Amino acid sequence: MKRTNTQKNNKTVSANDKKVKRRAVIFNRLIFDIIVFLIFIVFGTILLNNSFKFNSEKITKYNEKSNLDYKVYLLKNDFYEQSYLGKDMLYVASLIDNVTIDFDYAFQSENNENINFTYSIAATLSISNTLNTKSYFVKTYKLLDDKKISMVDASVQNIHEQIKIDYQHYNMLANSFKNQYGLDTESKLTVYMIVNKKNGEDTNFVMDNDSIMNIAIPLSERAVDISLDYKEINETRNIVEKQNIALRSIIMFGISIIFIILALIMMIKAMRNFNKLLKKKSVYDKYVGKILKEYDRLIAESTTLMSFDDKEIIKINKFTELLDIHDNLQKPIMYYSVIEHESCYFYINNDNVIYILAIEKADLEEQNNEKQI
Q: What value does the mean pLDDT take over residues 196-204?
A: 66
Say yes or no: 319 and 334 in one domain: yes
Residue-wise pLDDT tens digits, 320-357 = 999 999 999 999 999 999 988 889 999 999 988 999 99
Q: What value does the mean pLDDT take over residues 163-192?
A: 90
* Residue 8 reports pLDDT greater than 50: no
Say yes or no: 142 and 168 in one domain: yes
Domain final residue pick, 255, 280, 305: 280
What is the model's pLDDT at position 115? 86
Say yes or no: 180 and 125 in one domain: yes
Among candidate residues 357, 323, 359, the one with its CA nearest the CA of residue 341: 359
- Bigger pLDDT: 169 or 275? 169
Say yes or no: 190 and 134 in one domain: yes
151-155, 235-239, 301-305, 335-339: least confidently modelled range: 235-239
What is the model's pLDDT at position 1? 35
> Beta strands of the chain (E only): which ranges?
52-54, 58-74, 84-85, 96-129, 135-165, 185-199, 208-219, 229-231, 234-241, 245-247, 299-301, 312-315, 333-339, 343-350, 353-360
Say yes or no: 36 and 75 in one domain: no
What is the model's pLDDT at position 327? 92
Say yes or no: 80 and 116 in one domain: yes
Q: What value does the mean pLDDT take over residues 39-50?
A: 89
Q: What is the spatial distance between Cα 299 and Cα 291, in angstroms, rounded to a whole number?
A: 9
Q: What is the pTM of this model?
A: 0.49
372 — pLDDT class (breaks 50, 70, 90): low
313 — pLDDT class (breaks 50, 70, 90): very high
Give the total number of structural domains in the chain.
3
What is the model's pLDDT at position 134? 86
What is the model's pLDDT at position 222? 63
What is the model's pLDDT at position 13? 43
* Residue 3 reports pLDDT greater than 60: no
* Residue 119 reports pLDDT greater than 90: yes
* Residue 9 reports pLDDT greater than 50: no
Say yes or no: 134 and 237 in one domain: yes
Say yes or no: 366 and 306 in one domain: yes
What is the model's pLDDT at position 344? 93
Per the structure, the complete domain to which residue 131 belongs is given by 58-242
DSSP classification of residue 305: P
Query: Can you tell me whether residue 372 is helix, strand or coil?
Result: helix
Residue-wise pLDDT tens digits, 71-88 = 999 999 999 999 999 888
314 — pLDDT class (breaks 50, 70, 90): very high
Say yes or no: 111 and 152 in one domain: yes
Residue-wise pLDDT tens digits, 298-312 = 999 888 888 888 889
Among candidate residues 213, 188, 249, 227, the one with its CA nearest the CA of residue 53: 249
64-68, 201-205, 207-211: least confidently modelled range: 201-205
Say yes or no: 209 and 271 in one domain: no
Say yes or no: 68 and 131 in one domain: yes
122-131, 201-210, 242-251: least confidently modelled range: 201-210
What is the model's pLDDT at position 123? 95
Q: What value does the mean pLDDT take over residues 150-178?
A: 92
Cross-strand partners of 127 = 137, 187
Say yes or no: 288 and 217 in one domain: no
What is the model's pLDDT at position 28? 87
367 — pLDDT class (breaks 50, 70, 90): confident
Mean pLDDT across the chain = 83
Domain final residue pick, 253, 280, 307: 280
Q: What value does the mean pLDDT take over residues 59-77?
A: 88
Would you call 154 exposed, middle or buried from its count of C-beta atoms within 10 A (0-12, 13-18, 19+)?
middle
Q: What value does the mean pLDDT take over residues 110-117?
A: 86
Domain final residue pick, 280, 305, 334: 280
| Measured CA distances, 254 to 48, 110, 247, 257, 264 (Å) | 9, 39, 11, 5, 15
